[in-house]
Amino acid sequence: MNPQAKMIFTISLLLGTTITISSNHWIMAWAGLEINTLAILPMISKSHHPRAIEAATKYFLTQATASALVLFSSMTNAWYTGQWDITQLTHPTSCLILTSAIAMKLGLVPFHFWFPEVLQGSPLITGLLLSTMMKFPPITLLFMTSPSLNSTLLTCMALLSTALGGWMGLNQTQIRKILAFSSISHLGWMAIIITYNPKLTLLNFYLYALMTATVFLALNSIKASKLSTLMTTWTKIPPLSATLLLALLSLAGLPPLTGFLPKWLIIQELTKQNMAVAATTISLLSLLSL
């Protein structure tokens, strides 16, 4: 890909994200999401490999469906309440449709099927963008609409995401698929707390983005895409391999490391909300991914 095209797509990505996170009107938020989707598609398919083209097609179809649902839910809400403001989402049907649409955009269970496939077909740097930057606008929309969301639905989705993320990641040999299931599992932790303490969700997301960026950039510099290639990197670049090991353990949430901090705070908050059963369940399920 030539530098001019890469620069245009990067600027479009930043622009789309900025429009969505700074908008008050649903149409503006939707426009930002669409710009983001269209900017990342050429980055996924730039190698012209059949798998990359397949990944780009899957990504486009899923995101187009989710964007249509976002628009439909906001129109339904505007029809009943006369409000296009993002924070004024009050109609129950609109809330349900919006939760499903954002779950589809993020890759929460049961709308997770596209994410591991798309990540597997993308280059590592594009995979990093898909796992971090592309998740930021939908999470911002969840953050802004959090007071009116259905907490029961989000809790069910979150528990299923954490279970499936850990369980499906167990017997994978492809590193990108393992990271995709790790992302699904982390999204479960973010979704369970969003209606009770939205700031904790953002803290969790920031730390997750930092750790995922570390892992992806380390993998990119050692050019590893399978677990078998990781086993031989220790002899080549020992410091980077040690950093990668610590980043992966932190991503899994091993207690003394940074990745455990948001999980600890979320468990504490859930216990305060009399959701000790949910807190215990999600903690036990995250042991799978560890």
> What pLDDT, on the 0 to 100 scale, is given for residue 223?
86
Q: Where are the domains of the chain?
A: 1-149
Q: What is the pLDDT of residues 198-234, one digit of tens each?
A: 999 999 999 999 999 999 999 999 888 888 888 777 7
Share above pLDDT 90 across residues of the chain, in percent, rounded to a whole number: 78
174 phi/psi in degrees, rounded to 5? -85, 125
8 Å CB contact between 89 and 51: no
112-146 confidence digits (pLDDT tens): 999 999 999 999 999 999 999 999 999 999 999 99
Nearest C-alpha neighbor of 67 from the set 30, 38, 98: 30
Q: How confident is the model at residue 289 (pLDDT cuts 50, 70, 90)?
A: confident
Q: What is the 3-state secondary structure (H, E, C) of 139-194?
A: HHHHHHHHHHCCHHHHHHHHHHHHHHHHHHCCCCCEHHHHHHHHHHHHHHHHHHHC
Q: What is the mean pLDDT of residues 81-110?
A: 93
The arithmetic mean of pLDDT across residues 138-167, rounded, is 93
Q: What is the pLDDT of residue 190?
A: 95
pTM of the model: 0.93
Contact between 179 and 127 (Cβ < 8 Å): yes
Mean pLDDT value across residues 72-100:
93
pLDDT at 16 over 80: yes
What pLDDT is recorded for position 143?
95
- Quick check: helix, strand or coil at residue 83? coil
